[in-house]
Structure formats: C-alpha cells, structure tokens
C-alpha cells in the first residue's frame, strides 16, 4: 500500500472513530437523531432542551458545533431558527413567524437564554412552554387577545399563558381578582380550585405575555432582551391576518399596544389591571361580559369563561 492510500485510510478510520464516539455520547445522553432532519437540531418534546441544543447543534447538515461539556457553544442564526421552529407546533404560526425568527435580534435572544442556562440560571417558563400560547391557540382560531407583561417568576407558576398558573399552584393576587370579577360579571360563574386557564386558550383566547421568559424570582428581568419587539410583531400579525378580534387590554402597559391594532377590523376593550395595586378600578369593569357582547357584534361565538 502506498503512502497516499495509507494516509487516506487512516483519516477515514479517524473520522469513523469520531463519529462512533459522538453517536455513543448521544445515545448515553438520550438525544434522538432523525435521518430526515439531519439539518435540524435534535429536540426532545416536553423537556428542557437548551443544553441539548447547545451540545448538538447541526448546521445545514454538514458541520457540527459540538461540545461534550455543553460550554463555549454558540448557535449560528440558522441554528437559532431551527430551535425556535421546534418550539412552535402549529404550522400556521410557524409560517407567519418564520421571517421574524430569521432576524438577528431573535438569534440574540436564543444565545442569551443558552448562556444563562449554562451559567445555571433558572428561567421560567420551562423551555417547551415558552410558546404555549401559540401552541394552544392556533392563529386561525383566535377570537380574543389578552395581553400580559412578563411571566410569573415563582417556581412552577408560569406555563406560557399570561395570568394563568399550573394546577396545584397557589393563586397569584391578580388571578384572585380576575376570579372575583368573573363571579360578579358572569352569571353562575363558579371559582375553580386552580388557576390554569388553558380552557380559555382552547376556546380561542390568545393569552400573550409581551415578554416570554423571566429569571426565577426576578420580575421584569428579561424585558431588555428583545421579546417585546417580537410580541409587538405578533400583535401586528394577528391584527393583519385575522378578522373580528376582541383585544382585551388590562393596565397602562397593555394600553400602549393599542396603536398596533387595526381599529377598523377589531374591537379594543381597555380596563385597569387586575393587580391589587389597581384592583379598585378593575373590579366592576365587566370586561368579560363586554368581551362576549363585542364577539356577538363581530359575529363570533362567545367565550364560556366558566368552563374549566
């Protein structure tokens, strides 16, 4: 065997060994690989994949930004796009959000979340629930848009829907006031034993926080990373693509989003925020019955606010 063929064989064996080592590592870490998605990131549904994403980022099916320790790995913009797409289950939402996902500021958001994760910072909601509002309420099914600010920052509270908390978690003060208003506004409303509002999402109530993530126990900690630019565009998309939507704006922060909404197509209802700081002005506003009246005016089915 000549020197050239010997060298080629050695290189081939070296590549094979590296591939085998990588496959063994992925199997130990239980990271599934799909043949038809070699150009995409491996994604495990229902798990926190930021670490996996950083370790197993595949770009265009050719190169791999890989680190066994999960450190010093930064996604390229294309990798960030795939990561974001994997978090959004609804195909219509994916389609209309793709242009935004490809922008530089969204890449910076993903990099920020990964770096925080690598530093051991706890982020809420869990990664697979960051886009829960989009996954539970498809674009074409939206009837009402409810706008919040940032997620709850306590453990097991936030799950991707504004004002809603996971079952089994103590009700936050704002949600207590929401239930108080429902009890006086909606006939026969019975206060549920939990604070999970997913039933509203399934009825077409799009519950959007303008900032989609937060650091544990640090309210407003992610307001600076770019989420509000993204969610402003989401509101514009809904205003443009949908017809006859009721926008329910609670508090001064949500009121500022009014300028994004096409008032010729949609109805806006503005009230005080349900926070204890402004509860006196929120209680008695009858925003839920007013929302249903507006929906009927727009030819839309009403929301059963008491269906849990």
Mean pLDDT taken over the chain: 82
Is residue 174 in some structural domain? yes
Last residue of a domain, one of 118, 143, 158: 118
Q: Are residues 82 and 134 in the same domain?
A: no
Tell me how far apart the alpha carbons of residues 222 and 211 are, in angstroms, rounded to a whole number: 7
Decide if pLDDT at 213 tops 60: yes
CB 245 within 8 A of CB 238: yes
Q: Are residues 51 and 137 in the same domain?
A: no
Lowest mean pLDDT among 44-48, 205-209, 278-282, 284-288: 44-48
Last residue of a domain, one of 96, 118, 140: 118
Percent of the chain at pLDDT > 70 equals 75
Q: Are residues 60 and 154 in the same domain?
A: no
Q: Are residues 61 and 127 in the same domain?
A: no
Q: Which of 236, 50, 239, 70 is nearest to 129 (CA)?
A: 50
Where does residue 63 rank: exposed (0-12), middle (13-18), buried (19+ CB within 10 A)? exposed
CATH of the domain at 179: 3.40.470.10
Q: Are residues 175 and 96 in the same domain?
A: no
- Take residue 77 and report the two structure tokens written for it: 């913009």
Is residue 136 in some structural domain? yes
Q: Are residues 71 and 58 in the same domain?
A: yes
Helix (H, G, I), strand (E, B) or coil at 281: helix
Decide if pLDDT at 197 tops 80: yes
Q: Are residues 221 and 278 in the same domain?
A: yes
**What was the pLDDT predicted at 46?**
47
Tell me how far apart the alpha carbons of residues 264 and 258 are, in angstroms, rounded to a whole number: 12
Q: Which of 214, 188, 185, 230 is nearest to 127 (CA)?
A: 214
Known catalytic residue at 150: yes
pLDDT for 60-71, tens place per residue? 333 333 233 333
Is residue 177 in some structural domain? yes
Is residue 156 in some structural domain? yes
Is residue 18 in some structural domain? no
Q: Are residues 267 and 251 in the same domain?
A: yes
CB 50 within 8 A of CB 127: yes
Lowest mean pLDDT among 48-57, 82-91, 155-164: 48-57
Q: Are residues 224 and 182 in the same domain?
A: yes
Is residue 233 in some structural domain? yes
pTM of this structure: 0.78
CB 205 within 8 A of CB 159: no
Distances (CA, A) of 219 to 158, 169, 216, 223, 276: 12, 18, 8, 9, 16
Decide if pLDDT at 111 tops 70: yes
Is residue 307 in some structural domain? no
What total of structural domains would you count in the chain?
2
Give the structural domain span for 111. 26-118
The band of 49, judged by pLDDT with boundaries at 50, 70 and 90, is low
Last residue of a domain, one of 60, 92, 118: 118
What angle (nearest 5°) sits at the alpha carbon of residue 179, between those of residues 281 and 153?
Answer: 90
Q: Which of 29, 42, 116 is nearest to 79 (CA)?
A: 42
Lowest mean pLDDT among 78-82, 84-88, 268-272: 78-82
**What was the pLDDT predicted at 78?**
74
Which residues are paired to 206 by β-bridges? 145
Q: Are residues 178 and 99 in the same domain?
A: no
Decide if pLDDT at 259 tops 80: yes
Tell me how far apart the alpha carbons of residues 98 and 82 are, in angstroms, rounded to a whole number: 10
The band of 291, judged by pLDDT with boundaries at 50, 70 and 90, is very high
Q: Residues 150, 185, 232, 304: which is the catalytic one?
A: 150
Is residue 289 in some structural domain? yes
State the pairing for strand pair 267-271/205-209: unpaired
Q: Are residues 73 and 137 in the same domain?
A: no
Q: Are residues 99 and 171 in the same domain?
A: no
């Amino acid at each position: 065997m000549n020197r050239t063929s010997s060298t080629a064989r050695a290189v081939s064996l070296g590549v094979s060994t590296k591939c085998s080592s990588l496959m063994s590592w992925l199997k130990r870490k239980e990271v599934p690989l799909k043949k038809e998605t070699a150009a995409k990131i491996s994604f495990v549904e229902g798990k926190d994949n930021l670490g996996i994403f950083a370790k197993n980022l595949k770009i265009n099916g050719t190169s791999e930004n890989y680190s066994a320790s999960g450190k010093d790995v930064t996604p390229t913009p294309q990798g960030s796009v795939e990561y974001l797409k994997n978090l959004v289950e609804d195909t219509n939402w994916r389609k209309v959000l793709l242009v935004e996902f490809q922008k530089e500021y969204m890449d910076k958001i993903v990099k920020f979340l990964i770096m925080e994760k690598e530093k051991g910072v706890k982020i809420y909601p869990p990664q697979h629930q960051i886009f829960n509002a989009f996954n539970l309420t498809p674009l074409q099914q939206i009837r009402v848009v409810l706008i919040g600010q940032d997620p709850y920052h306590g453990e097991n509270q936030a799950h991707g829907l504004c004002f809603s908390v996971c079952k089994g978690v103590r009700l936050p003060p704002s949600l207590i006031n929401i239930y108080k208003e429902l009890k006086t506004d909606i006939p026969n409303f019975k206060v549920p034993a939990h604070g999970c509002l997913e039933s509203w999402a399934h009825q077409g109530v799009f519950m959007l926080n303008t900032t989609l993530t937060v650091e544990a126990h640090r309210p407003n900690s992610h307001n600076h990373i770019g989420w509000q630019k993204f969610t402003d565009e989401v509101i514009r998309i809904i205003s443009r693509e949908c017809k006859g939507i009721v926008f329910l704006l609670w508090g001064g922060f949500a009121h500022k989003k009014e300028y994004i909404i096409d008032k010729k197509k949609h109805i806006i209802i503005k009230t005080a925020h349900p926070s204890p700081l402004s509860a006196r002005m929120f209680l008695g506003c009858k925003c839920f019955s007013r929302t249903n009246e507006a929906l009927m005016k727009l030819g839309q089915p009403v929301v059963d606010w008491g269906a849990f």
